[in-house]
């Protein structure tokens, strides 16, 4: 019997959440979202106990997983391990992320991602270079000795990467990158993101006007919203053209701050989730090394010995749960923040969502508690 209909779960099609519908599949392909009364004769019905059917999650900041860090080894083999780890966690589209490092390692990372895409490693949609052109004042866990201003060689390397990769995201600080450089990168197709900066509101707005269209992990490692200086937080919320990633582990950002940002953000559907995942994701590691420093995994956090946060220890289903249970938004918005909103930041071959002719392998099922379940 070629036709199967999944019934009983709300369906997020990659744009909106639909209730009271069925997801019709033929063999291993999605036919579409249908009313039950319009199903073909003889269609097999699979009943689900509530929950949510969604496309695979999209994560634009993945530093590692499966016990390995991209910073440690910029090779095809490392990317395969990271891909496998995040696929098990429901992330089917992601940007491998290189944290501040040398120019040679940045180039090696670009080369490795290009090879992974050529070889068809699942999920890899491009690269995110988070640094090294940041502000030492807001370095976070980034190694300060590697932070530097952007040179012409750096700029050309990153611009050239857009000719080899479908998506290139670059996190920069105005302290280390000029407005003309920002304009050149944006015109080349780079997704320029502001982050790890102490720049004031007016400076951030000027860089947004020059082509920066994203903010990296809102609230963290940036100038804060103050009464007299709104900082990058204020500029992000005040700009309808700029998107922002958010780490929703209730450690990096308090639920009340997340709630306020979601209400205040100008421009609809502009804040999305990232995991900021490290080597610990999808593994039982209790500690790992980053730039020669030990990162400890304790009580749902990743920290250096001095307490500095070093990425996050959360996956997309738990991030969605945090948004629903602690922040108080509805499941439709929370799921969009892990799927369609970040997907809209990218150029994706073949599109995104539970569209007609999409493979059933791109489908996820979460139960009512946002736990991933096997559809069988």
**Active site positions, annotated:** 276
Query: What DSSP state is assigned to residue 362?
Result: G
Residue holding tokens 């952007």?
150
For 228, other C-beta atoms within 10 Å of its C-beta total 6
Query: What DSSP state is assigned to residue 197?
Result: B
Residue holding tokens 């490693």?
121
Q: How far is the C-alpha of 100 from the C-alpha of 141, rounded, in Å? A: 9
Local structure of 88: helix, strand or coil: helix
The residues pairing with 57 across neighbouring beta strands, listed in sequence order, are 91
Task: Tally the residues of the chain.
Answer: 376
For 153, other C-beta atoms within 10 Å of its C-beta total 10
**Contact by Cβ (8 Å): 359, 289:** no
The residues pairing with 18 across neighbouring beta strands, listed in sequence order, are 11
Look at residues 152, 159, 200 and name the one whose alpha carbon lies nearest to residue 177: 152
Look at residues 111, 168, 127, 171 and name the one whose alpha carbon lies nearest to residue 147: 171
Residue holding tokens 């999209």?
58
Give 249's contacts (C-beta < 8 A, 6+ positions apart): 300, 301, 312, 313, 314, 318, 319, 322
Helix (H) or strand (E) holding 83: helix 76-88
Q: How far is the C-alpha of 339 from the C-alpha of 363, rounded, in Å? A: 12
Q: How far is the C-alpha of 119 from the C-alpha of 6, rounded, in Å? A: 33
**Contact by Cβ (8 Å): 59, 275:** yes
Helix (H) or strand (E) holding 156: helix 152-161
**Contact by Cβ (8 Å): 196, 134:** yes
């Amino acid at each position: 019997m070629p036709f199967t209909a999944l019934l009983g779960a709300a369906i997020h099609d990659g744009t909106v959440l639909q209730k009271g519908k069925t997801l019709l599949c033929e063999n291993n392909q999605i036919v579409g979202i249908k009313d039950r009364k319009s199903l073909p004769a003889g269609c097999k019905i699979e009943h689900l106990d509530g929950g949510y059917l969604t496309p695979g999650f999209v994560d634009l900041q993945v530093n590692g997983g499966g016990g390995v860090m991209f910073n440690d080894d910029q090779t095809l083999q490392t990317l395969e391990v990271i891909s496998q780890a995040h696929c098990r966690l429901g992330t089917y589209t992601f940007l491998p992320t290189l944290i501040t490092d040398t120019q040679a390692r940045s180039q090696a990372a670009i080369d490795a991602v290009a090879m992974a895409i050529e070889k068809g490693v699942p999920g890899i949609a491009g690269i995110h270079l988070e640094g090294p052109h940041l502000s030492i004042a807001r370095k976070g866990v980034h190694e300060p000795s590697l932070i530097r201003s952007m040179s012409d060689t750096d700029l050309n390397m990153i611009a050239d990467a857009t000719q080899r990769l479908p998506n290139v995201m670059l996190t920069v600080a105005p302290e280390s990158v000029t407005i003309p450089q920002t304009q050149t990168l944006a015109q080349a197709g780079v997704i320029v993101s502001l982050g790890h900066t102490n720049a004031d509101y007016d400076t951030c707005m000027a860089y947004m006007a020059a082509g920066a269209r994203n903010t990296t992990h809102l609230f963290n490692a940036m100038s804060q919203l103050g009464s007299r200086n709104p900082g990058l937080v204020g500029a992000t919320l005040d700009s309808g053209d700029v998107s922002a990633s958010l780490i929703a582990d209730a450690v990096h950002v308090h639920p009340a701050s997340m709630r306020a940002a979601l209400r205040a953000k100008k421009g609809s559907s502009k804040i999305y989730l990232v995991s900021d995942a490290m080597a610990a994701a999808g593994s039982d590691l209790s500690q790992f090394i980053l730039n020669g420093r030990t990162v400890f995994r304790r009580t749902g956090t990743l920290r250096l010995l001095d307490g500095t946060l070093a990425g996050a220890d959360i996956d997309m289903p738990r991030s969605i749960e945090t948004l629903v249970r602690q922040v108080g938004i509805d499941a439709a918005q929370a799921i969009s923040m892990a799927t369609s909103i970040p997907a809209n930041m990218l150029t994706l071959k073949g599109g995104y969502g539970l569209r007609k002719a999409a493979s059933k392998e791109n489908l996820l099922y979460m139960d009512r508690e946002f736990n991933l379940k096997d559809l069988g």
